[in-house]
Structures are given as structure tokens and as C-alpha cells.
Structure 1
Amino acid sequence: MEGSDHRFYVRHLYENFKLGFKGQQLKIQLWEAARAYTEADFQQHLRKMKELNVEAHDWLTKVPVHLWSRSAFIDTSKNNILINNICESWNAVILEARDKPIIYMLEWIRRHLMLRFQYIQKAFNKVKQQASMCKVHYVGDDKYEVQCYGISKAVNLDRHTCSCKVWNLTGITCRHAVACIFTKRDTLESYVHPFYYRETYMKCYGGMILPIPMGMLMKIDSIDTLLPPHYRKPTSRPKKARNKKNDDPKGSTKLSKSKESLKCSECKENGHNSRTCKIPKPLVIDRPPPRRSGRPPSVGRGRARGPNGMSVRVRERRGGRGRARGVDIQAPITNQEVNDGK
């Protein structure tokens, strides 16, 4: 389509990228470079990728930047989408009707489209909350310098631009612009691009989806009876969900292990575990086990034999208050003590 803005689906770009270059850190840098709005942030993530893998950096730089990174998108379409999540959302919506007969499925989709309505107000309210953390300095001629989280941005309300490029690219006022509009005591809605106005939305969807009577769809005398095609029912349960990749989340709230970043327990770095850690481990010197403190283990109850074969009287102390429990072993009785009658 000549004259239209063409972009890559970044997920498909990563699927081709990971065929030759695997690793969680490389994946993070690719997506961060795609999400970067400014050229400086984009180059910073490319430098980090080059430090990780030079070949991966060279492969990615051969892809035209204006097709996959926000830092090079044109601002005429007022769109910053990197993935086709709208298609994924639509697939999830029609999941209920996908296994139905073709006429019923089309009717279900038609009715759902008639009732669907979405507005940008939800995202707009979120930006208002973020603007409370910004400090505004008025320069003059509708120009402002805004400090937010230690970073300064230049805002021009007259041209509807901000150096963060979020406002330029999406047409929705960023938090820096919202802070300036609050300072000016002006209405926020007047600075949003007309693409998001209700009037523009109604013009885009002015054509109605007309109702269709289900009684007589066509003249059945003009054509032969249309028979359904031959269909062989599979043996297994009908499949409704799409095939998922290995790094897709397994559920709506939990991520799979393949999506989690590995962290080494030895060097505390990400990307590997202790088994594959290349940092040499410290030398461990075996030491004898520490001596146990306290009274030595007691002998069993009853009679015991001493070194000379004589009996040893063993008396167990039934410890009351202030008396220790244990076994009191007397010294062996000698022959001289027996003769003396002791």
C-alpha cells in the first residue's frame, strides 16, 4: 500500500533473531531497543548488545531501523504499536465462536462488532497521575523545561511536541506535556490529536453494519442447493487455542521458566546459573568437625564391666529441681577394697 506506514511485527523479528542468537540478555536488549523513543536510548541498547555478542549486533543493524524501533517511526500515523496484540485480543474474543458452524460464527462476529466501542480516555487518565511527579519551568512562548525523575525534557505546547517523542509519535499528551498544561491552567483534551476525538471516531465508523434477516438470505430458485463439503471428524478433541511458543506464558498470571531470567547464586549475575558460572570458586580447606560441648554421652542402664572385669555400679539420678538428669558412674571396685569390706 503505497504511502502507508510499514512496520515489522517485532515478535516475528525476534523469532528470526533467536534462531542464531539465543540468550535472555540479548532478548532484553532487542526489545528495549525497539521500545526506545529517542535515538540516544536506542544507541545505548545497541551498545549493550554489542558487548554481549558482536555478531548479534551486526545482524540487527542490517534491519532497517524505521521498520521496528520507535526511535525511527514517523509521527504521521500517531501509532507506536510494535506487536499485533490487537489481533491476539481479537482471537481471544472470538474463541467462543470459532468451533461453531460458519453461518453462526459470522453472525456472532457481526453482533460483537456492532457492540464494540473503545476510547483513549483510559490511557489519558493514567498519564495525568504520572504528571504529578514533574516540575515545570516556564521559558516563554509556550515553551517549557520539565524535570521528571532527574531528567529534563523540552516541551512546546504550540507545536504539540516533546523531546521524549511520546507526544509526537502517539498524539496523546505525555506526562511532561500534561504537567505544562496544568501549569498553564488549560484543558487537556484540547491538546490531544484529533485522531482521538469522538467526532473522528464516528466518521471512521460512520458506515453501519446492517442487520440481515435470517429467513430468506437469497433466492433459492436461482441456484442449485449448496451442500456442505465432506468432512471427517478427527479422533481427538477439537482444538480451539493457537499453538504457543516455548517462551509464551503458560497462564494468565504466571510466566514459564523459560521467560524468567537466570541468576547465578555464586557471582549474583544474570544469564547463567552456578553450574555454568565461569568465575573461579574460592578454595575450600577441609577442617575437622568441631568438638561437641557438654557432658559426654551416658552409658546404658544396668550393670557394666570395668577394665579388670569387676562389676561397676551404675546409678541413675532422677533429677528433681536443681538436680541434673544423667547417669552417675562410680569408679571400678578393686580387690583390696573387697577384702577390706568396703
Structure 2
Amino acid sequence: MDEPKELSNDGYEWLMKTPLSMWSKHAFDHRCKSDHVTNNMTESFNHWINPYREKPILTLVDQLRRRLAEKMLGRYEKGCGYVGVLTPRTKHRLDLIASKARNCQILATGNLEYEVYDGFFRYIVNLNHKTCNCMLWEASGVPCKHAASAIQYRRGNLEEYCSEFFSIQRYLAAHQEMVHALPDISMAPNIQETNVLQPPPLKRLPGRPVKNRRREPGEEPTASFRRKTTSVKCDTCKEVGHNRRTCQLAAVKKKRPVQARKQKAPVSTSRMATRSQTTNASTVESMQEKKMRKMKEYLAKRRARMAGTGGAGGDAIGASSTSVTGGDAGAAGAGGDGGDGGAGTDFFEHLSNL
């Protein structure tokens, strides 16, 4: 028992509190000839009767009677077709045990007593008393691999050393009793005796009715009700139980100075602009600025073009005027053009100052 204690001290203490006859094969009751250590048969039976749990008591008993009658008759008819001494499942079990017994070494000491070496361990097998040190033969009724090795050593038959509980004769005897048919409950005789014990008055208890099976102390809940627990591992110190944010070995980060926020002047609700109004106003202003910038660029280009071509144009106009109408007409024409040019220049300067 040192190995379970090294693996888990809590598990070792739990096993010590539990009787050996409930979890160790060597301490089982040898009269039942069963080596099952799980409650799989109980769980299977609970699933078998699960559709009838919520039925009334009479319906529940009648449904169980029908299922048992069907099961007993089916097994009896199936057992009538078996051939040999043992049931087919027991034969298959013996074949597996015989294959494992080939790895054992035998030392005969006389009077059907043998020393069987299985790896680093040694066992004593007595074929007269049908015993073995591992206690599996006595508990299950089927020879263990040590006993099977000794039986094969003396050219014996494994079926002769099995318990009679695994024989076809006992199997048929266990299922030969039939479950008799019953009439409908409405045809049952009415008993008018006064001393018949009546059922207690039905009283509905508060709360939701319990439908789940009552579990034994220490039995684990099902997977749907089991709480999921996960262990957190720190990335800094690689220890379990915390993360890197709460790690005590992590480097301390310098705190940033907290800057005081500027307090804005209170704005009355009536003067507060909404987001859509602010967006529309900024869009209009940006479009006006874009138009004014293009206008200024256009005026600057035109002013530069007129400054480069104004002198030559004036001389040509004056010469043509003198040749056609004389000096006064040319001066008047030149003056007229000059007046128009001055007026145009003042207009451009006014636009550029906007």
C-alpha cells in the first residue's frame, strides 16, 4: 500500500476508510464468485428502467414485470442452444487467460502443488484445493493465469477447474422459471376488508420534484453538473495559481504622471452645437476657403500675364491711333484704355485683399 500513498495521500486515506471488501478483489465474498469492482451493472439497470421512473406505482411494477418476462424467456431459449459444459462467454474468458499463462514459468513440487513465476513475483498454486496466492481464483471461480499455467503444465482441461456457476446447466436453471401472465388491473377483485392498510394521503411537497437518482456518499456527479476548473499558470515565474498581472516577481512598471484635465467653460444647452451641425459648418468653411484660394491663384496668374504684355500692347495701340485719327485721337484712345486698365487693376486688388 505504499505505492498508492506515494501517488496520492488523500486517495490513500479514502481507501483506508473504505472496507477492503468493497474495492479489493482478494477480500470479496468468495461465495458469489464475482470479481466485478465497478457498478456498471447497476448503472445499466437504472438506464433499463429509466422510462418508467415517473409512472404510477402500479404501472411501474407492471412494466418491470413485462421486461423481466421478456428477458428471462429470451435468455432461456438462447441457453437451450448452447453446446458444451460452460457458457460461451466463459469459454472466451478462458481463452484469454490461457494466452496470458504462456509467459509464466512452472516449478512442480509434488502433490499437484506448483511454484509459478510471473515476472519478478512468485505464486503458489494448489490444484487439489483450487487455490492461488493471488486470490483471484477463489474470488472469481475461474482459474487465474498462474493456475492456468499449472493446469496446462500437466495437460489438464481448464473447464474442469471452473466453478459450476458458469456451467450451462446452472445457467438454464437460473432462467427456467417463467413470469406468469396477468389480467388487466380493471379485472382485479375488489377487496372490502376493513383491516386493509390504506396508502397515506397524497400531499404535494413544495419545490420542483426530484427526478435524478440519489447518489451514494462520495460518488462523483455527472459530467453536466460537474464544475469545470482550470489551473492558471504565470508566464513570468512559470508557477500555477496566478497570472503575470498578479505575479509578485514581475518587474514594477513606472507609473505615468497623471495630467490634470483642462476644464472647459460651461456652455449653455441652447448654444451647444450638435455633431451634425459642427460637421456641416466645418464643411462649408473648408469649401469657401478652397474657392478663395483658387480665386487668388487665378488673379495672381492674370495679373502677372497683364504686367508682361501691357507695355507692348499700349505702344501698338498708340501708333495705330496716330496714323488713323491723329495725335489727339491716339491720346484719347490710349487714355481710354489706361482708364479701363486702372479700373480693372483696382478690382483685382480688392479681390486679393478679401
Give TM-score scaled by structure 1 length.
0.48
The structure with the greater share of residues assigned to helix is: 2
Point out which structure has higher relative CO (alpha carbons under 8 A, 6+ apart).
Answer: 2
Give TM-score scaled by structure 2 length.
0.47
**Larger Cα-atom Rg:** 2
